[in-house]
Structure 1
Amino acid sequence: MAPEQTPEAPLAAVRGCRLVTLPDNTDPRGSLTVIERGQQVDFPIERVFFVHGVPRQAVRGLHMHRELHEFILATTGSFEVVVDDGFSRARVHLDRPDRALHVEPGVWTEFADFSPDAICLVLASAPYELDDYLYDYGEFVRTARLPGAGSADGRAGTAGRGGGRGGGRVENQTTERPQGADA
């Protein structure tokens, strides 16, 4: 039996997520948008990847990272990102290259509703590592709700590679990748 989804809430209610407005310098020649470590991104960038050519009805992501930070933006087109901390979930519409979503470790993500021209750019705090992924939503929710599983309010979090603000580390969970489940 599939676990119930956590209730929908504003983004501010979801621990470990924040929208970042990127500096956008525009003049008659066009726009230049800047992302700098130590300014908009507070973790070392170890990997960059693009998601594109996604069919409108496809859902991607469907996982949580134990230690990885992600900085997600739509370079073109649009898509939805659902973020879930085990207590609250929010839906974020990304459709501008000067607005990004920072997702800390311990947050479940789902990507959907890609426009035909959508290109999702992700800056990640570490190289790909299968053991960093948790693909079982039920296990994610159970872990997130364990007393003392994370920050002072009991929410799951990690002290990840990129200097996360959460507490404990999510360990010993399912890492088997279902087909088409990674972002």
Structure 2
Amino acid sequence: MQTENFEPLLVKNSGYVFLKKVCDQNDGTLIIAEAQKDIPFDLKRVYYINNLKNFISVRGCHAHKTLRQVIFCIAGSFTLTLDDGATRQKILMNHDNAGIILGQMLWHEMSEFASGTVLLVFASDYYDEADYIRNYEEFTEICRKGGGK
């Protein structure tokens, strides 16, 4: 997959991850993700979001102090909004093998879900509530003081 077909990412602490996709017209598609090779960190946690009933929901709405993640839309589509405290960008997620790195101190929101959407996330660490910043004003204040790395 060519990166020139994708919108440039303008926010800090982000990037694209493209997974190998093997298509067989008769037997379906195989998409492969390997830690430290495709995913730029050791995997400690994998989770997915599905069965979205309210397609006008906004999910996420937080940043992480140290956790790194890669988010994929493996079915359907949604809008991913990223904010590094200085730049805010919206990206349409609708390629099953193209993910976005959600680095440290990167506010993210997911919205505008199509019917049947499934999100898959690889995370660099176990769940830790203390790593979350759930208040946008607190996030922007930390970034303003230079904590946005």
The answer as to whether partners of 1:11 and 1:90 remain within 8 angstroms in 2 is: no
Question: What is the alpha-carbon distance in structure 2 between the residues aligned to residue 75 and residue 104 of structure 1?
Answer: 20
Q: Does 1:13 align with 2:10?
A: yes
The letter for the 2-side match of 1:31 is T
- Structure 2 SS opposite 1:12: coil
Question: What is the alpha-carbon distance in structure 2 between the residues aligned to residue 92 and residue 18 of structure 1?
Answer: 12
The letter for the 2-side match of 1:40 is D
CA deviation vs aligned residue, 1:14-55 (integer Å, no higher than 9, x gap): 001112221111123222111111222111111111111221
Higher strand share: 2
The residue aligned with 1:142 is 141
Question: What is the alpha-carbon distance in structure 1 between the residues aligned to residue 128 and residue 61 of structure 2?
Answer: 16
The answer as to whether partners of 1:11 and 1:92 remain within 8 angstroms in 2 is: no
The letter for the 2-side match of 1:113 is E
TM-score normalized with structure 1 length = 0.73
Question: What is the alpha-carbon distance in structure 2 between the residues aligned to residue 58 and residue 11 of structure 1?
Answer: 26
From 20, 38, 41, give the equivalent of 2:36.
38
The letter for the 2-side match of 1:47 is R
Structural mapping, 1:41-120, within 5 Å: 41-54=39-52, 55-120=54-119
Q: How far apart are residue 127 of structure 1 and its match?
A: 1.0
CA deviation vs aligned residue, 1:105-137 (integer Å, no higher than 9, x gap): 110000101112001111111111110100110
Question: What is the alpha-carbon distance in structure 2 between the residues aligned to residue 116 and residue 129 of structure 1?
Answer: 30
Question: What is the alpha-carbon distance in structure 2 between the residues aligned to residue 44 and residue 144 of structure 1?
Answer: 26
Question: What is the alpha-carbon distance in structure 1 between the residues aligned to residue 62 and residue 84 of structure 2?
Answer: 12
The letter for the 2-side match of 1:14 is V
Identity among equivalent positions (%) equals: 28
Higher relative CO (Cα under 8 Å, sequence separation at least 6) belongs to 2
Structure 2: tracts of 5 or more residues without a match = 1-6
Higher helix share: 2
The letter for the 2-side match of 1:83 is L
Question: What is the alpha-carbon distance in structure 2 between the residues aligned to residue 144 and residue 92 of structure 1?
Answer: 22
TM-score normalized with structure 2 length = 0.89
Question: What is the alpha-carbon distance in structure 2 between the residues aligned to residue 94 and residue 120 of structure 1?
Answer: 9
The letter for the 1-side match of 2:41 is F
CA deviation vs aligned residue, 1:144-180 (integer Å, no higher than 9, x gap): 121xx25xxxxx13xxxxxxxxxxxxxxxxxxxxxxx
